[in-house]
């Protein structure tokens, strides 16, 4: 079974696309878990009406997105676990099946692919192509990690390294990747395709203040785990991101 966890708060407008994307997956054994942070809009109603493939729905206050991720992780029963946040969608109906096929290889503990960031008003308009192909554990020191919405991990790898550190505001997924890939040295496979479409926005794409916050948190994560880095190394990732945008004429 593949567990897909969706964290959301006040996402009534965004949830229908995500629910439909999971429902359309042709993999037969999916457990979709929605963790809602006590939304004040109609998020819960939307999930109850349209979440035909939702196995569990939790709605209660949380301490942020990584706390919500951990709640979903505790509820998940699948051998493989991934995350798809409100508004994000898979690019094809066979994405989860193709991911599951990667885990049929005995030595694979994690797999990931590419994500495209799109215009929220026009999902067909690609603003940036985030490529995970060049990821290696050594590049974590420069702030590079696999595209988190495409990252699926075996349950036993989570059992070895633990869940998300909820003391992080933006870089909790990066800190987890340090534990997974640098410390636990999980065996991974790259699926060379765009797997997820993600609307522009979110905590890590919300202007220079958020970029400074995530860079500080990345440096903190590296220092806490003995990974040598510096601010110049971490800031060097921004020209790469700019090139990804320029490739699409923006």
Please state the pTM of the whole predicted model.
0.92
Give the 3-state secondary structure of residue 219.
Answer: helix
| Spatial distance between the Cα atoms of 55 and 32, rounded to a whole number of angstroms | 5
**Per-residue pLDDT at 246:** 53
Side-chain half-sphere exposure of 33, counting CA atoms within 13 A: 22
Domain presence at residue 59: yes
Average pLDDT over residues 95-121: 93
pLDDT at 130 over 60: yes
pLDDT per residue over 145-181, tens digit each?
A: 999 999 999 999 999 999 999 999 999 999 999 999 9
Q: Where are the alpha helices (DSSP H) in the chain?
A: 15-23, 43-50, 65-75, 95-102, 155-161, 172-177, 208-224, 231-235, 237-246
Domain presence at residue 144: yes
**Structural domain that includes position 160:** 105-250
Q: What is the DSSP letter of 47?
A: H
Give the bridge partners for 130, in sequence order.
115
Domain presence at residue 100: no
Residue 235 banded pLDDT, cuts 50, 70, 90: confident
Domain presence at residue 97: no
- Contact in structure between 88 and 151 (CB atoms under 8 Å): no
| Spatial distance between the Cα atoms of 98 and 247, rounded to a whole number of angstroms | 27
- Contact in structure between 163 and 70 (CB atoms under 8 Å): yes
Domain tally, the chain: 2
Final residue of a structural domain among 65, 89, 113:
89
- Contact in structure between 4 and 68 (CB atoms under 8 Å): no
66 & 132 share domain: no
């Amino acid at each position: 079974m593949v567990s897909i966890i969706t964290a959301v708060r006040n996402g009534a407008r965004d949830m229908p696309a995500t629910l439909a994307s999971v429902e359309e997956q042709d993999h037969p054994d999916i457990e979709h878990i929605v963790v809602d942070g006590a939304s004040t809009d109609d998020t819960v109603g939307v999930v109850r009406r349209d979440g035909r493939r939702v196995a569990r729905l939790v709605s209660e206050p949380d301490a942020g997105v990584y706390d919500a991720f951990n709640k979903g992780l505790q509820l998940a029963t699948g051998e493989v676990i991934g995350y798809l946040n409100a508004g994000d969608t898979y690019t094809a109906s066979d994405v989860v099946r193709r991911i599951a096929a990667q885990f049929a290889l005995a030595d694979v503990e994690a797999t990931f692919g590419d994500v495209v960031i799109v215009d929220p008003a026009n999902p067909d308009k690609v603003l940036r192509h985030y490529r995970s192909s060049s990821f290696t554990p050594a590049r974590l020191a420069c702030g590079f990690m696999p595209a988190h919405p495409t990252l699926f991990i075996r349950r036993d790898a989570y059992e070895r390294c633990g869940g998300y550190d909820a003391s992080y505001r933006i870089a909790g997924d990066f800190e987890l990747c340090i534990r997974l890939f640098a410390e636990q040295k999980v065996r991974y496979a790259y699926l060379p395709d765009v797997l997820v479409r993600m609307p522009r926005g979110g905590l890590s794409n919300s202007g220079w203040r958020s970029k400074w916050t995530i860079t500080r948190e990345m440096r903190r994560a590296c220092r806490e785990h003995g990974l040598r880095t510096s601010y110049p190394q971490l800031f060097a990732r921004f020209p790469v991101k700019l090139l990804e945008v320029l490739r699409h004429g923006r």
